[in-house]
Every structure is written in structure tokens, then in C-alpha cells.
Amino acid sequence: MANKRLVIGNWKMNPETFEDAKRIARKTRITAGKLVRTEVVVCPPFPFISAAKARNLPAPFHIGAQSVSFDEGGPHTGEVSVKMLASLGAEYVIAGHSEERAAGDTDDAISRRISKIVEAGLTAVVCVGEKVRDENGAHLDFLKDQMKATFAGVPEDKAGRVVLAYEPIWAIGAKDAMQPEQVYEMSLFVKKIFADIFGQEAGHKVRVLYGGSVNFRNAGEIIKTGKVDGLLVGRESVNTPGFVELLRAVDVVE
């Protein structure tokens, strides 16, 4: 299998203690090590990145971060640079998450973050998604504009270091995920926009994940019918029994 599926766990601001972080990582590690078709990335809060790493063992999952500064280093109180993350073993960084966008992150700031991530040789997991769906298709225009602004200034030759996470905002932290058939349609749409921005080949190669209320019950069907390359999972990624089941459900899809 050329490309394994990618399941990225975004722990958000969870759990409360380093001990709990170690416990979640340990359970995830045991399951991740048994998967055949699936690659796992765990994105803990910054202080818990080291808790997610197994001592003396090659980790069966990759480490990611939830955000990063667009500055190199120096006088930026409270910020974390991409080099710091790389030195901790992080290979992935999420950029443009809707919760950060809602807190004031601008398209310009996001595109600068993405550039920093990909230029440092890490993979940017770039979140895009509409706030609401509209029967006249206005959400498609919204998404197109959002993607163009988000990727403005990102070097074209680094498109291969981007993973697209399509996350309709109305489905994040919600009761239900988007229907798998719609996930399929929308994943094709965002791939097409990506191709318009970065060229046909990049559009063909980019991996598209779905995120928004994915859990162990719906994950397999979203992969199967939604035909996405993976999932970005919030709440269920820190609910270890659920995440273990979710990983197994994804891995068994042919």
C-alpha cells in the first residue's frame, strides 16, 4: 500500500496532568504499534509533547504540535518556534484550526505559519472548512476564498509538505459528523482548489483528511464511503477506549 491512512489526534487543551498525558500516549502507542494500514500522529499540548514519546523505544506514532509561531525565535514571549518543535521530534504541526481562527488568527498569520513549518521540513496539517452550509453553494465560494488566502505566500515547491484537513466548523465539537457521502464530495472539492493553487500534480498528491465529530462509531464509514486519506480527531483522541476502537475500525477498512 503506497500511502498509509493518516489518523491525527488533536488533544486540544487536554488532559490536565503530565501523568494523564503519559497514560493516554501509552494506550495509543500499544494500539498504533499493531496497525497495518494506518499511521498515527499524536498532537499533545506543548508541555506534554515529551510525555507522548516512548523512552528507549521507536514510537509507533509520530508527534505533532497544535500550533507554532511564525517567528524564528527571540523576543516573542509565550511563543514556540518550529525549530523547538523539531528538536523535540515533532514532524507535523497543525495550522489554521478553526478554534485558532475564531480566537483571531488571520489568513496572513496562518500562511506565515505554514511557510515556517514546511520550510523547516515538517508537515503542515492545514485546516479549512466552512462555518455553515448553504443550499446555493455559498459555502463553496467561502472555502475557495479561505484556501486561497490561507495558502497565499506558501512556496509552491513545498506543497508536498501539506496535508489538508477539511473540517466543516459546524461539525466540530458537535453531536454528529458530516455524512460520509458529503465528505467524499467535499474532499474532491478541496483537492480541486488545492490543484488550482499549487498545480495538477500537487492536487493529485495531496492527502485530504476529514475532521469534525469523528468517533469510533463513524470513523470506518467515513474512511470507506468518504474515501478520505485519513481523519483529524479531537475529543475521541483523548478518550482512550474510544480512540483505540477508532484506530482499529480505520485499520480494517480494505
Span from 14-22, 113-121, 131-139, 205-213 in contact with ligand PGA (CB under 6 A): 205-213
Q: Decide: 165 and 8 in contact? Cβ < 8 Å.
A: yes
> Who contacts 218 (Cβ-Cβ below 8 Å, separation ≥6)?
177, 180
For the chain, the straight-line distance linking the first and the last C-alpha, in angstroms and rounded, comes to 11
Does the footprint of ligand PGA cover residue 220 (CB under 6 A)? no
Asked if the bond preceding 180 is cis, omega within 30° of 0, the reply is no
Q: Which is nearer to ligand PGA, 82 or 222 (CB)?
A: 222
CA angle 71–72–75, rounded 5-degree value: 75
Sheet strands (E) in 136-243: 162-166, 207-211, 230-233
Greatest CA separation for the chain? 55
Q: Does 80 bind ligand PGA (CB under 6 A)?
A: no
Interface residue with ligand PGA among 31, 81, 123, 213 (CB under 6 A) is 213
Smallest separation (angstroms) from ligand PGA to the CB of 68: 16
Choose between 64 and 82: whose C-beta lies nearer to ligand PGA.
64
**With CB under 6 A, what is the number of residues at the site for ligand PGA?**
12
Residue 219 binds ligand PGA (CB under 6 A) = no
Cβ proximity to ligand PGA: between 90 and 168 the closer is: 168
- Does residue 96 touch ligand PGA according to CB under 6 A? no
Question: Is the Cβ of residue 202 or residue 231 nearer to ligand PGA in the bound state?
Answer: 231
Does position 10 bind ligand PGA by CB under 6 A? yes
Closest contact distance (angstroms) between CB of 57 and ligand PGA is 27
Chain positions 156 to 175 lying near ligand PGA, rule: CB under 6 A, are: 167, 172-173
The residue to which cell 478553526 is assigned: 98
Q: Which residue has the cell 498515527?
A: 40
Three-class SS state of 51: helix
The interface with ligand PGA within residues 222-251 (CB under 6 A) comprises 232-235
The verdict on 212 binding ligand PGA (CB under 6 A) reads yes
Instruction: Name, in order, each residue with C-beta under 8 angstroms of 109's C-beta and a sequence gap of 6 or more.
Output: 70
DSSP state at residue 54: P
Which of residues 52 and 94 has its CB atom nearest to ligand PGA in the complex? Answer: 94
- Secondary-structure breakdown of the chain: helix, strand, coil percentages, each rounded to the nearest 5: 45, 15, 40
Q: Note the residues at the interface with ligand PGA (CB under 6 A).
A: 10, 167, 172-173, 211-214, 232-235
